Amino acid sequence: MSIQVRKIIKHLEETMLENGHPVERLHRVAFVGAVIANPYPSEYVEDLVTLADELGEEIGQLVGPACVDLLGDEVEAFGKAALVGIDGEVEHGSALIHNLRFGNVFRKAAGGTELLPAAEKVGLPGSPIDIPLKHKLDSKTRSHHQTVTFQVSDVPRPREILVICAAANAGRPLARLAVFGAETKTQ
């Protein structure tokens, strides 16, 4: 089986100022999403893994390397998401993105070693989805914990799934929290 793609969406954000202060370096976030026909039937099926294994790498190749290319800089943080249209279930999107055949394509393109943080939900066309990002090499790097929002006015239609990869070239603009574990304990 091969996936049916309605459209590919590419979006790049560049932040120069945050809260009135210049950022140390241009903060870039790239999003690449593929709007695909939901490959699962609308009625309940027990086995979602077999089809996800079959399609994972193909979907990953559509969005992972393209996201890294669009960023145009070294990836420091990354994440993934699936937005499932009505007449589908959240587990359909989860099966496709929580699959090593999908994730390994993006991880390799980004030069990462950590698991990709993820979000998935069912939504109507135009629904936003918040995508968590974490450092590609160390998920405890607090400066890189951030959430970005992706939204397209006509996506997902019923029986579609939007699969998204997101990558950032840095941590949060103006990040200044203490490193993980640096809190003082109160007695």
For the stretch 57-78, pLDDT in tens is 999 999 999 999 999 999 999 9
The reported pLDDT for the residue numbered 74 is 97
Mean pLDDT of 154-178: 92
Query: Distances in Å between the alpha carbon of 75 and those of 27, 51, 112, 142?
Result: 11, 29, 8, 16
Q: Cα(41)–Cα(29) distance, rounded to whole angstroms? A: 34
Domain boundaries, the chain: 5-168
Helices (H), the chain: 49-71, 90-97, 100-110
| pLDDT of amino acid 185 | 59
Count Cβ atoms below 10 Å from residue 144 Cβ, excluding itself.
21
pLDDT in tens, 7-61: 999 999 999 999 999 998 899 999 999 999 999 999 999 999 999 999 999 999 9
- Give the CA dihedral 88, 93, 99, 105, nearest 10 degrees: 130
pTM beyond 0.85: yes
What integer is the mean pLDDT of 75-91? 98
Q: What's the fold here for domain 5-168?
A: 60s Ribosomal Protein L30; Chain: A; (3.30.1330)
Mean pLDDT of the chain: 94
Residue 182 pLDDT: 54
